[in-house]
Structure 1
Amino acid sequence: MRRIRVRVQGLVQGVGFRPFVCGLAGEYGVAGFVGNDSGGVFIEAEGLRAALDGFLAALRHQAPPLAMVERVTVEAAEPIGEAGFRIVRSEGGAARQALVAPDTATCADCLAELADPACRRYRHPFTNCTNCGPRFTIVTGVPYDRHTTTMAGFALCAACEREYHDPRDRRFHAQPVCCPACGPALRMLGADGLPVPGDPITTAAAWLRQGRILAIKGLGGYHLGVLAGHARAVAALRARKRREDRPFAVMAPDLTAAGALVHLEPEAERLLTGVRRPIVLAPRRADAPVAEAVAPGSRDLGVMLPYTPLHHLLADRLARPFVLTSGNLSDEPVVFEDGDALRRLSAVADGFLLHDRPIHVRADDSLVRVFRGRELPIRRSRGYVPAPVTVPWPFPRPVLACGAELKNTFCVAEGVQAFPSHHIGDLENYETLRSFTDGIDHFCRLFGVRPAVLAHDLHPEYLSTKYALDRHDIDLVGVQHHHAHIASCLADNGYGGPVIGVAFDGLGYGEDGTLWGGELLIADLAGFHRAGHLEPVPMPGGTAAIRQPWRMAAAYLDRIYGDAVPELPIVRRDRWAAAVALARTGVNSPLTSSAGRLFDAVSAVAGVRDVVSYEGQAAAELEARVDPAEPGAYPARLSDGLVIMGSDLVRGAAEDVLSGVPVERVAARFHNGLAAATVLAVRALRERTGLRTVALSGGVFQNMVLLERMVSGLEQDGMRVLVHSRVPPGDGGISLGQAVVAAARDRSADARQRIPD
């Protein structure tokens, strides 16, 4: 007989791991016990050598569906002649290393109960078990037990108590377990906050069919819902929400209904029906039964399937697609507290479908695309967070990375695990900044991380940078924005470099004080060299040029034609002269090499979009107009200093517009030309450096047309191409890049010399 002490680390709490261990013990004839603590799962097991070997092998390789075993450590102990196997009480402790599970879509077993009139959980909007249900959004601390969740205030009834304590039941220690007798309650309120009589689901479905707007409490916050095919209701939602053009997401009742909205490839179907249930952005069908205003100016539509019992019940009763968009006003974070929702959304919603289970952490829906059969995250949040991104290189000291200003996430990292946060949003107001600082505190408590290094962007005016510079208890590391993008792609792929990095995005603060955004870098994790870039041009009016793409068109066209600018529709004399004067003098016109601003200029020249209501709109709508059958490409010169002349691409677009070429061909030739010019620049760098691996990162690579053209061209040139699959290529992935850069510098021999006191 032998006895061993086992420590299991990873995602092993709240996922049915202890009952799984009990079952294995019975199968292999092993005695002992299992329990949770702040480090994960601890086990003592006693039995014959062969039995213990089989037990350990199964422990590593046969874990429950939602578990993720990161590490199993074993040490010998003295046999004590123990009989039987039991689950012991959870223990606390100072060192918190246990992982917390993401929120998970309702499993098939719970759905079957939801639809079974003979089951006591029939049509119960909060049914769940160890294989599904809320996790991250309700967890207040670790170890993961009911008293450290927002379910602490709901006392279990006798029937749920029996299930909760029965290791043979799939609800054993499922912390959110409940039933109609003891769980949260659903209710329907009018815009005035007064109760609406009747069954809440039935009433909500009826109101949606009538064209009313509802605020619906989800897992990580409130949504605003409206019938997707009701044009007047969709228009009303846009007006009340003050969201002019940004596309809305649509919830379909099932996969068949989703397939009637968009064209789905196998990976998209897998993502839609998987446990994470993100919004999947896919090509919209021409006959999709949704109002045009759901996603104006876009060929794609964001579709998701129900992921909570409440959503399943509502979708089933409604039996048609409905818009489910973030419950907020324009530029504000999503509302997640009931009182706040009633105050902020009463002017938008005609009614509220809500419940009394508190949400501890707001979490927007995740958004993904599919590129070449692989997931490409656009927004990583509900369903994914807080699962770690494991990297091959250890963090010598715990790191906190503050991320970027737009589409912010932060990241805490320790050991070989990085924990990028849920989507925080744009750090432009007090509410979002508070969500950022509260989120950092929560993650550090949840994972027991006490950061010794703080990584931040170089831009002095970013609120995330100001937060970092106000911290005097920690070593600071400034990381250039585009280096962080490339490092994020390297970490995403587990590759340390060096690589040729292509970082195309909107804006980032450069080491020379100008605004970068179309960068060719030679980079590894620790450092980079700027080897080339897009042609720098002025931004007339500064940030006004981001909101008004015609200003970027003015800067480019003035550089090309000077005073002889042709009579393009975009050239309006009432506004043109002032913008050109700013560009020429440099007054309030910082230089930028931004790829995003180049897209803006071409979009304006082509007549697609000269003023935007959200960041990236002009580029997205230009992409949507591309004729995929057009093979032509505008040529762009490449200077000796590896500067890609974007003005050549704008000239090509302008001349085609003057010649009456359709906008679809103009958009295609621009995309093709930018991709071809960039591939030529990478080829030149390969010849200089011998590097044959390219990393593509930055928000512009959310553009599927450009990404496909780039990857195809580079692969035809014999290059290995790294793209994102675990974190977004946009600014939502910046924090991971900052974290791994800080760690790489920490590992360098002279790291402590470079980190200021």
Structure 2
Amino acid sequence: MSTTARDRREFTVTGVVQGVGFRPFVHRLAVELGLSGFVGNAEQAVIGEVEGNGEAVTAFLRRLHTDAPPLARIAQVRARTIAAQAGPGGGFTIVASVGGAGSRRTLVGPDVATCAACLAELFDPADRRYRHPFITCTDCGPRFTIIRDLPYDRPATTMAAFPMCPACRTEYETVNDRRYHAQPIACADCGPTLWFEHDGLRVTGTDAAVAEAQRALMAGRIVAVKGIGGYHLACRADDEDAVRRLRERKLRDEKPFAVLAADLATARRLAVVDDDEARALSGPARPIVLLRRRADAPVTAGVAPGNPWLGVMLPGNPVQHLLLAQVPGMSLAPPDALVYTSANLSEEPLCFDDEDAITRLPHLADAVLTHDRPIHVPCDDSVVRVVDGQELPLRRARGHAPLPVPLGRSLPPVLAVGGELKNTCCVLDGEYAFCSAHIGDMGSLATLRAFDRAAGQLTTLRRVTPVILAADAHPGYQTRAWAERHAAGTAPHLVQHHHAHVVSLLAEHGRIGEPVIGVAFDGTGFGTDATVWGGEFLLVGADPTRFTRIGHLLPVDLPGGDAAVRNPCRTALGYLAAAGVDWDSDLAPVAACAPAELAAVRLLLATSAVRSSSMGRLFDAVASLLGVRQRIGYEAQAAIELEHLAGLGAGEPPQPLAPFGLTDDGRLDHRPVIRCLVERVRAGADAAVLADAFHQAVADAVVAVATRAAATSGVSSIGLTGGVFQNVRLTQLCRDRLGAAGLAVLTHRLVPPNDGGLALGQAVVAGLVAARTPDFQEGGR
């Protein structure tokens, strides 16, 4: 058919295409191109028909991809030719939802930052939403956190209690308006309200409430602020006393706080920000971005004690924008940088429920800036690093959850419960995996309840009844116990920790079923031999439900198990003992221990040490040996500081260490490296140069094992996964050297390499196993 002839196509668009202004976009596009037809919502899709000049129809189908609204995520556009109708038709219309349940199982979008158009209106005195703290449109604002049920319509959201005024209703029903079917639409006449509470007094009115909050912050107070996904605690970033009190109240000794900067210029005064990091900061997810802290950053040292990086975020919702902007008629200048951290005690889940806030916030904050729009689903801030222009997720939450991971195949419904640290859960639904937002560490009853709620929300939102539950194989994990309690008489499918890491990486790259050599480096994972793994090389073939351990770091004794994790000096003593190095007091880990502790460690090594092949623990040991960190206040603190030190030494002339030994059965022997480091330390070598040399030695060892395994197996894809690969220096070294050796390298881009990505891998493994059962039919439920 000639492209100038009349053409009619039936089309189906899948992905995140409902609640994001997609139907009015289709309408505008069709009208622009002179096409007739219709568009409407169906289950999990937008469907329609379009007719007109062949060239215009071709352009229409192409632009469904290229010109889609900002919040749309197009998975697929399918089209087929159907019989053209006589004549030009009756124009183009938006029709009611079809298929009975309508958008009952559509893909729900995440919460995203205030768009440029809404931000302009927010600060335009002539606009009717001037300084309205809940301004939103189809291109921005809350989605995931306000949804109670599907289909995604206002009565099924927490906005149901706010009937639209006539002006908002007109916008909502006008197809060419930016707020057409924007479910959170509101204005000062019909929407939620903001107020400030302090010492039992309530200040109402947006400007008055914001001004009081600013006064409290400038006076050194700690203010709780209710946002889109939960409450935060804020104080001035340059106020040493306020930051100290915040740490005392949160019971958070050293772990860094994030900083909310008023704008990009302020962020650049706090840290070094390159163009890619600026894009990440300013993107619709508004994550916390880990940046290289400036030595003269105008923040008190207590914000991130001894930490070379600073977590920075930009305002992502109207309340944050207003809080950091001048209130009209007020002489008080607002703060331009605030500590901005979740309103909870350390290791507890995010505070988001207003009733819960009444109990928890008085112990944490001096005052509260809050509002009356309920939060149904809590959602914390996402955290990323930028590696070679791409975001590496460290915590996947606001702006990303619950966007699905496309699997490329249909699998049975599975609920995977994740790991014990940085927990998330995951639900499989057909061709998609839906990962929850970050839940936290499963160390308290409150977090277990938060997990229970998150799992229930995911399954309810997807209308999924899992046929199987998946869990980590560790017998002591709370998540495994939860899965066993909820498995309805069927034992959960247990997935080895590092196997799950590797499969999660395959899943996010759409490579399920493609062989890979997975390099899984982390702190702790229960091995198939009941020892602690963490420095693993796994071959995962065409059947992703199986793996072969083709290499690993030589196990070492950890004196005291978890006590060694908290005290890198103890871990270092274990590595020194394994390497046959005497514990002389000239070595930092020895000097860090009192005689009684040294005696206790000797006894533990002789009687009851835990065997571990963990690469994370080796990084801790080297950090201790180089005098970087002997005791930690939060997870991976020693390794983080070692990475920074390595960066300082990267520009110096290289001083290679003795390489790791490599046995015929794939074991990496760390003892030559440890002995060489001891010799260099005793010779007075620069610690930064040694730190970088260690990173290079690890990268060389990865290449040595991977190239040998690739030659033996014929597998040329290498996957880097596990929490150790949050280390950008190590990741870059491994990737570059593996690439130079002719191997393809996969790294994480959608889910974290740490345990926040475990649930995805668990779900896929269990789903593939379940798919083999006789009663599963492709695409069935």
**So what's the TM-score if we normalise by structure 2?**
0.90
Cα gap change, 1:455 to 1:77, in 2 (>3 Å): farther
**Structure 1 counterpart of 2:3:** none
Q: Following TM superposition, by how much is the alpha carbon of 1:245 offset from its aligned partner in structure 2, in angstroms?
A: 0.9
Q: Which moved more, 1:704-713 or 1:418-427?
A: 704-713
Question: Counterpart in 1 of 2:561?
Answer: 542
Hey, what does 1:485 align to over in structure 2? 501
Per-residue deviation, residues 320-373 of structure 1 (Å, max 9, x unmatched): 111111111111011111222232121221111111111111111001111122
1:279, CA displacement in angstroms?
1.0
Aligned partner of residue 502 in structure 1, secondary structure: strand
| 2:537 equivalent among 493, 505, 520 | 520
Deviation sequence 1:495-529 (CA, Å, 0-9, x none): 34322211100100101111100011112323211
Alignment match, 1:640: 664
Alignment partner of 1:558 out of 552, 572, 577: 577
1:37-89 superposed Cα distances (whole Å, 9 cap, x missing partner): 54333435676877766554544543222212323455758969973544444
Q: Once the two structures are superposed, what CA deviation does each residue of 1:170-224 show, in whole Å capped at 9, x if it has no partner?
A: 111110000111111111112x453247711111122212221111111111111
> Helix, strand or coil: the match of 1:409?
coil
Give yes or no for contact 1:32–1:45 (8 Å, CA) kept in 2: yes
> Who is 1:670 aligned against?
694
How many angstroms does 1:28 deviate by?
4.6
Letter in 2 for 1:736: L
1:687-712 Cα deviation digits (max 9, x unpaired): 33333321110000001122122222
| Distance in 1 of aligned mates of 2:581 and 2:120 | 70
SS in 2 for 1:427: coil
- Aligned pair 1:459/2:474, yes or no? yes
Letter in 2 for 1:534: L
1:231-283 deviation line (CA, Å, top 9, x unaligned):
22212211221111111111111112112222222221111111111111121
Distance 1:54 1:497 in 2: 35
Quick one: distance in 2 between partners of 1:649 and 1:187?
60
Q: Which runs of 5+ in 1 are unaligned?
A: 753-757
Within the candidate set 513, 518, 531, 1:501 is matched to 518
2:757 is aligned, of 733, 738, 745, to: 733
Pair 1:568 & 2:592 matched: no
Q: 1:646 to 1:55 in 2, by over 3 A?
A: same
**Structure 2: how far apart are the matches of 1:80 and 1:194?**
70
Give the deviation of 1:536 after TM superposition.
0.7
Q: Quick one: which amino acid aligns to residue 131 of structure 1?
A: D
TM superposition shift of 1:315: 1.7
Deviation readout 1:458-502 (Å, 9 max, x if unpaired): 111112212222202667422111111111222222334322211
Shift of 1:721: 1.5
1:2 to 1:624, Cα distance in 2 relative to 1, 3 A: closer
Shift of 1:10: 1.5
Deviations 1:406-460 (A, max 9, x none): 1011111233221121111111212211221221221122123332232221111
User: Aligned equivalents of 2:202 and 2:132: distance in 1?
Assistant: 20
* SS of alignment partner, residue 346 of structure 1: helix
* AA partner of residue 277 (structure 1): R
In structure 2, which of residues 631, 641, 645 is the aligned counterpart of residue 621 of structure 1? Answer: 641
Partner residue of 2:294?
Answer: 285
* 2:762 maps to amino acid: Q
Partner SS for 1:378? strand
Report deviation, 1:143. 1.4
Check conservation: 2:566, 2:633, Cα contact below 8 A.
yes
Partner of 1:168: 176
Secondary structure in 1 aligned to 2:537? strand
Change (3 A) 1:475 1:167: farther
Please list, as runs of the form range in 1=range in 2, the aligned pairs for 1:437-476 lying within 5 A after superposition: 437-470=452-485, 471-472=487-488, 476=492
Q: Secondary structure at the match of 2:600?
A: helix
Write the distance in 2 (CA, Å) between the matches of 1:751 and 1:164: 45
SS at the partner of 1:335?
coil
Q: Does 1:39 align with 2:58?
A: no
AA aligned opposite 2:289? V
Q: Which moved more, 1:445-454 or 1:563-572?
A: 563-572
Distance 1:193 1:608, change over 3 A: farther
Q: What residue identity is the alignment partner of 1:575?
A: E
- Correspondence 1:69-88 to 2 at 5 A: 69-73=74-78, 83-88=90-95
Work out the percentage of aligned pairs sharing the same amino acid.
48
Say which is worse superposed, 534-543 or 107-116, in terms of deviation. Answer: 534-543
Q: Of 578, 581, 600, which aligns to 2:600?
A: 578
Deviation of 1:714 (Å) = 1.9
* Aligned with residue 622 of structure 2, among 597, 602, 619: 602
Is the Cα contact below 8 Å between 1:253 and 1:306 reproduced in 2?
yes
Q: Is the 8 A contact 2:588 2:624 kept in 1?
A: no
CA distance in 2, matches of 1:467, 1:455: 10
The CA distance in 2 between the partners of 1:716 and 1:22, in whole Å, is 50
Q: Which moved more, 1:625-634 or 1:56-65?
A: 56-65
Aligned residue identity for 1:338: D
| Partner residue, 1:434 | 449
Match of 2:580, SS? helix
Q: Distance in 2 between matches of 1:338 and 1:211?
A: 25
Write the distance in 2 (CA, Å) between the matches of 1:488 and 1:663: 36
Whether contact under 8 Å (2:105, 2:151) holds in the other structure is no
Please state how far the C-alpha of 1:632 moved relative to its aligned partner.
2.1
- Aligned residue for 1:149? 157
TM-score (norm: length of structure 1)? 0.93
Amino acid at match of 2:673: L
> Does structure 2 retain, via aligned residues, the 8 Å contact 1:557–1:565?
no
Aligned positions, number: 748
The 1-side partners of 2:682 and 2:581 are apart by 17
Residues 128 and 447 of structure 1, relative CA distance in 2, 3 Å threshold: same
Q: CA deviation at 1:673?
A: 2.3
Is the CA contact (8 Å cut-off) linking 2:576 and 2:582 kept in structure 1? no
Equivalent pair of 2:236/2:335 in contact (CA under 8 Å):
no
Specify the SS of the correspondent of 1:316. coil
Residue number in structure 2 paired with 1:21: 26
Change (3 A) 1:13 1:648: same
The aligned runs of 1:255-270 (5 Å cut-off) are 255-270=264-279
2:42–2:102 CA contact under 8 A, matched in 1: no
The alignment partner of 1:199 has SS state of helix
Q: Provide the C-alpha distance between the structure 2 equivalents of 1:161 and 1:127, rounded to a whole number of angstroms.
A: 15
Superposition RMSD in Å: 2.6
Letter of the aligned partner of 2:231 in structure 1? Y
